Amino acid sequence: MPFVQVADVNDDLKLNEETKQTISKLAQPMSVYIPKESVIVTLQGTIGKVAITQYNTYLDRTILYFDTYKIGNINKYFWALTIKNKFEEERKKAPGAVIKTITKEVLSEFNLNIPQHDEQEKIGMLFANIDNLITLHQRKYSKKLQTWEQRKLSEFVDKAVDNRGKTPPLDENGTHPLIEVSALGGVHPDYSKVEKCLNDDSFENSLRAYIKEGDILFTTVGSIGLVSLMDSREEAAIAQNIVAFRAKENFVPEYLYALFSNEENQYKATRIVMGAVQPSIKVSQLVDVEYMLTPNVKEQKKIGAYFSSIDNLITLHQHQ
């Protein structure tokens, strides 16, 4: 009989097809049995990984499953996405963008927005379709993975803008938005979360360099590893806890944004975090981190365009 542990929970709301461990009949009474299509979440190790089980299984004690729902009938796909997104939201607020521990009691205090069941069904169906589309393309591209290469960050981007140690004078009437960590994490910076501005003098004389459209903005202090793709607002500036990387020749910015947004790749950055009170990473160490990528520009463009369209679709439906 399958025995699910944290390592068996994937990032796509599914379990591994085969668990790493099985459980004997002798041990089954001491474990928790759950039926197929149960929603589970990991509470230790890599915290906040969510799945809808594809088969009947027993669970390790580091995993929580939702047995009954006080609000009655609920769409399980919607519920799984809600829990996953809540953990991602909490992770952004945590030191180093890493939730180190959580209990069932803390989890029970999470505030969640739950719409009527018919709306849950629509949202669940939308994201199920997106998930199936992603899976289809992943299978398509997995056949080509033998042509992908392991590259150090410094081999495919340049450090374009790094204003660490620079604190330019602010001006509430300034016309140059100062992008801070809170504005990152979406496809492009969220200017509704920008609270500070620079005037022309600060912009022209207090910065080391300037961001350009297509730069990948990467947080290095606080919530580590949040990324956004710089849009056309080149009159903006980045705060000193963000670095801007610029794609080298033959590398597509949209593809690199998708690469850095991948949860597994974001974890690579958190592994070199220093400090507990104010977590940070050294860019000099980050540039040596290795990523698996395709050097094929045509393939990069297709992957970048595909994930950009999905991000835009998700944003559109969130606004609706």
Pairwise CA distance, residues 184 & 186, whole Å? 6
Based on the fold, state whether residues 28 and 75 are members of the same structural domain. yes
One domain for residues 139 and 158: no
Of 99, 125, 145, the domain-final residue = 145
Global pTM reads 0.63
Predicted confidence at residue 31, as pLDDT, reads 93
For the domain that residue 185 is a member of, what is the CATH number?
Answer: 3.90.220.20
Q: Note whether 73 and 128 are same-domain residues.
A: yes
State whether 308 and 167 are in the same domain. yes
Domain end among 116, 145, 174: 145
Same domain, 129 and 193: no
Q: Residues 113, 179: one domain?
A: no
Report how many domains make up the chain: 2
Domain that holds residue 181: 150-319
Q: What tens digit of pLDDT does each residue of 127-155 get?
A: 666 666 656 655 555 555 557 889 999 99
- Kind plus residue range of the DSSP H or E element containing 185: none
Q: Do 259 and 311 reside in the same domain of the chain?
A: yes
| Listed residues 145, 173, 188: the one ending a domain | 145
Helix or strand or coil: residue 60? coil
User: Which are the contacts of 240, defined by CB distance < 8 A and separation ≥ 6?
Assistant: 163, 164, 165, 166, 167, 221
Indicate if 155 and 301 belong to the same structural domain. yes
Residues 229, 206 within the same domain: yes
Phi, psi angle pair for 25, to nearest 5°: -60, -30
Q: For tokens 């505030």, what's the residue?
A: 111
Element (H, E) at 120: helix 117-142
Q: For residues 229 and 188, is the Cβ–Cβ distance under 8 A?
A: yes
CB-based contact 218:193 (threshold 8 Å): no
What does pLDDT average to in each consecutive run of 10 residues of the chain (320 residues)? Answer: 91 86 92 94 84 94 87 82 82 59 77 79 72 60 67 93 86 95 89 94 93 94 87 94 94 93 79 72 90 90 79 58
The mean pLDDT value of the chain amounts to 84
- Whether residue 311 is found in the same domain as residue 241: yes
Q: How many residues does the chain have?
A: 320
Report the pLDDT value the prediction gives residue 316, as an integer from 0 to 100.
58
Output DSSP code: residue 140: H
Write down the pLDDT at residue 200: 96
Q: Check whether residue 54 and residue 173 sit in a common domain.
A: no
CA distances from 33 to 38, 52, 53, 240 (A): 11, 14, 12, 50
